[in-house]
Amino acid sequence: MIHQLMTVQCSPVDYFRQFLNADLFQYIMDQSNLYAVLSGSSFRTTVAELEQYVGILMKMGMVPMPSYRSYWSTELRLPAVADIMSRDRFFDLNRFLHFSDNSTAVTNREDSNYDRFYKVRPLLTYLRNACLCD
C-alpha cells in the first residue's frame, strides 16, 4: 500500500481531496444550512461555495493582512480573495458555518455524555479517520 502511494503522482488537489472531500463538504453544507434555518435566516450555501470559502481561508493564511476586511479594501484589495466572493457573503458564511446539529447536543456539563468539543466533534472525527491508514 505504501509503495503504491509513493509511485502514484498526485496533484495538490488530490491530496486536499483525500482529507476534505465532497462528503465532508456536503455534511458541512447541510449543517450550516440547518443552522441558518433554525436561526430564522434565509441564508443557504452550496458545496461549491464552501470549497471557495476554504480556498479563501487558505489564501488568507498565505497572505496575512491586518483584518479580514482588508482583503476587500480599496487600499489592500487581494483579487485572489475579493474576486472569488464578496466580503458580505464571506462574513455570512463565517456566521452560519456549522459542523454539528445544535438541537442534538448535550450541553449540560454534568451529563456523562457531555462533550466539550461537540460543536466540532464531527469534523474532528472525520479528519481523524481520514488520517488513519487502512
Residue 129 belongs to a domain: no
- Using CA atoms, how far apart are residues 59 and 53, in angstroms rounded to an integer? 10
pLDDT surpassing 60 at residue 15: yes
Q: What is the mean pLDDT of residues 38-49?
A: 97
Among the ranges given (25-29, 39-43, 53-57, 126-130), the one the predictor scored with the smallest mean pLDDT: 126-130
Evaluate whether 72 touches 83 at the Cβ level (below 8 Å).
Answer: no
2 falls within a domain: no
Domain range spanning residue 16? 12-100
132 inside domain: no
pLDDT score, position 17: 81
DSSP 93: H
Residue 111 in domain:
no
Averaged pLDDT of the chain:
90
Predicted TM-score of the model (pTM): 0.82
Answer yes or no: is 68 within a domain: yes
Contact 98, 35 (CB under 8 A): yes
In angstroms, the CA 112 to CA 8 distance is: 46
Average pLDDT over residues 36-55: 96
Residue 5 forms part of a structural domain = no
For the four alpha carbons of 105, 109, 114 and 115, in that order, the dihedral sign comes to positive
Average pLDDT over residues 38-61: 96
Q: Can you say whether the dihedral through the CA atoms of 51, 54, 56, 59 is positive or negative? A: negative
Condensed to tens digits (0 to 9), the pLDDT of residues 51-93 reads: 999 999 999 999 999 999 999 999 999 999 999 999 999 999 9
Sequence letter at residue 121:
R
Q: Residue 52 has which C-alpha cell? A: 471557495
- Examine residue 128 and state whether it is found in any structural domain, yes or no: no
> How many folded domains does the chain comprise?
1
Section 5-13 average pLDDT: 71
Q: What is the pLDDT of residue 7?
A: 58
Percent of the chain with pLDDT over 70: 93
Percent of the chain with pLDDT over 90: 60
Q: Would residue 16 count as lying in a domain?
A: yes
Burial level of 71, CB count in 10 A (0-12/13-18/19+)?
Answer: buried
Contacts of 117 (CB under 8 A, 6+ apart): 124
Higher pLDDT, 7 or 38: 38
